[in-house]
Amino acid sequence: MYVGVWLALAILLSVRLRRAATSAMAGLAVWLVLTLFGGLIVGLIADAVAPIGGQATAGDVIRNVQVERALGRVSPSFLYEEAIGPLLAPEQRTLAAAISPLQAYRVIPGELSLTQSLLLVWPQMVGLVALAVALFALAYVSFLREEVRA
pLDDT digits (tens, 9 = 90+) for 14-67: 999 989 999 999 999 999 998 899 889 999 999 999 888 788 788 888 888 888
End-to-end C-alpha distance for the chain, whole angstroms: 33
Any idea what DSSP says for residue 150? -
Domain boundaries, the chain: 2-149
Query: Please, what sign has the CA dihedral across residues 98, 114, 36, 13?
Result: negative
pTM over 0.85: no
Q: What is the DSSP string of 90-149?
A: TT-----S---HHHHHTPPPSPPPHHHHHHHHHHHHHHHHHHHHHHHHHHHHHHHHHHHH
- 117, with CB counted inside 10 A (0-12, 13-18, 19+), is buried
Quick: pLDDT tens for 63-119: 888 888 889 888 898 889 888 888 887 777 666 655 666 666 666 677 878 888 888
Please tell me the distance from the alpha carbon of residue 104 to that of residue 21, in angstroms, as a whole number. 52
Cα torsion at 139, 81, 129, 12 (round to 10°)?
0
